[in-house]
Amino acid sequence: MRYTSLHTHSTFSDGKSTMEEQVLSAIEKGFASVGFSDHSYTAFDLSYCMKLEQVPTYRQTILELREKYRDQIEILMGLELDGYSDIPEEKYDYLIGSVHYIRTDDGLYHPVDSNPEGMIRMTEKYFGGDYNAMAVKYLQDSVQCAIDHRPDFIGHFDLAVKYNFVDETDPVYRKVLLESVAAVLEVCPIFEINTGAIARGYRKDPYPADFAMRYIHEHGGKFVLNSDCHDARYLDCHYAESVELAKACGVKSLVRLTKNGWIEEGI
């Protein structure tokens, strides 16, 4: 099995590495492909997303790199489509369905993964300090994102546990997570195994949690391995360990997107 990462960020949004730096890292690491998925435009928060005027250059840069390195690696054009973004008019090779915010009843959008302090303030104000209630709201929003956007695969589905405030052993939380997974499987059968929080030093295991990974596999879902990479040095962060975790959950294969569609490879 050869690695890929379809969840890759660059300096077009909140990445630290340029697109070419990411491509060169992928080639050095022997990847079969790399796909760019910078953040879609969110009008309510311009701090991390691509601006609308950047989109043509973003797309053109990918096409130029695809041609420049066509004999060394396959390069795909994607977009990480936030749950509160509009579906793009442009055609992409794939769209990742991801939620990065919780929208509260006062109409405000609160980032879930910007920093621990922000999550603490938001949870204290809107959820009475109940992190599991916050995580349940996030899962509800994530299900709605999948239904509304019908993405090619689901990004970091249980992102709300990033800072380790959520009690993942709580049976109520686990029940809601699995019910949410079941609802998403009705519209999108592919989830990513995402190692991004490991690269940032917050987690020791990837998303989704092992019990959710097992459920997805047992109910016919598939997985693509991604690093949610913002820094080219960590493009394959925790990949070998994540493959072993997937195997321990009963997963026998991963999927990889090519110019000719999805292919399945044994692990």
pLDDT at 130: 98
Mean of pLDDT values over 14-43: 98
Q: CA dihedral defined by 170, 175, 177, 181, rounded to 10 degrees?
A: 160
Average pLDDT, the chain: 97
Mean of pLDDT values over 157-175: 98
Domains recognised in the chain with CATH numbers? 19-266 (3.20.20.140)
Mean of pLDDT values over 199-219: 97
Can you give the pTM of this predicted structure?
0.97
The pLDDT confidence band at residue 26, using thresholds 50, 70 and 90, is very high
The pLDDT confidence band at residue 188, using thresholds 50, 70 and 90, is very high
- Starting at the earlier edge strand, list the strands of the sheet with 33-36: 33-36, 74-82, 94-98, 153-154, 190-194, 222-226
Rounded Cα–Cα distance for residues 192 and 226 (Å): 6
At residue 80, φ and ψ (nearest 5 deg) are: -85, 105
Rounded Cα–Cα distance for residues 223 and 190 (Å): 5
Q: Which DSSP state fits 40? A: P
pLDDT at 82: 98
Mean of pLDDT values over 171-177: 98
Q: Which DSSP state fits 186? A: T
